Amino acid sequence: MHRRTALSVSAALLAAAPLLSACSGGPRPGTAAVVGGERITTSALQAQVKDVRAAQNRSEDAAELIQATPGLDRTKLNRMIQTAVLERAAKTAGVDVSTKEVEDFRKAQLQQAGSPAALEAAALKQANLAPGQMDANTRFNLLRDKLFEHYGSQDKALAELSAAAKTLHVEVNPRYGTWDAQQIVLGESQTPWISQVTRPEQPPAGA
């Protein structure tokens, strides 16, 4: 199996529905960010946040989970932008992840967790993931790991990701912070792409 290089586990992404819609200009009312000429709408962003808040409210640890995620909108937007950057860099490198790979990894996670409820609870607590966001987050992590393996070096892969970020000319609504293409992170999110190294035989529930 591939060795997994885990990325910031704080912000997970994404619902299956499209998050971007065509846009010819920069941020405007109703726009959270513009990435490669495509809008990430505030409604799409808030849908991500709403799904997580709903999952948190269903938890017996609701108050603790909500208190621990005051900047959830910024965290979600950060990952939404990072996803667009990752997809661009992966396309350039000729790297992709199949549906079967996502399904197989999720099965391994489920086997480790013991039950769907336990896996969902861990994903929510560890990575701010609503149940409907878990498959997309798994794809994100697998695609990132393949990209790192493709370049054979974390530094090289991050350089390519930074280059992809710059070509996408990301613009962010100031209410969410400032995008740093060099660090590939949204302002106050302060979440590095690499935080630890794990093996696929023992996948963290939220990774």
Reference 35, options 192, 190, 186; nearest CA is 186
Q: Which domains are assigned to the chain?
A: 4-198 (1.10.4030)
Per-residue pLDDT tens over the stretch 120-157: 999 999 999 999 999 999 999 999 999 999 999 989 99
pLDDT in tens, 148-201: 999 999 899 999 999 999 999 999 999 999 999 988 999 765 455 543 323 333
Q: Is residue 85 pLDDT above 60, yes or no?
A: yes
pTM, to two decimals: 0.79
Strand partners, 20: 40
- Phi then psi dihedrals of residue 165, to 5 deg: -60, -40
Residue-wise pLDDT tens digits, 23-70: 444 457 799 999 999 999 999 999 999 999 999 999 999 999 999 999
pLDDT at residue 188, as a whole number: 61
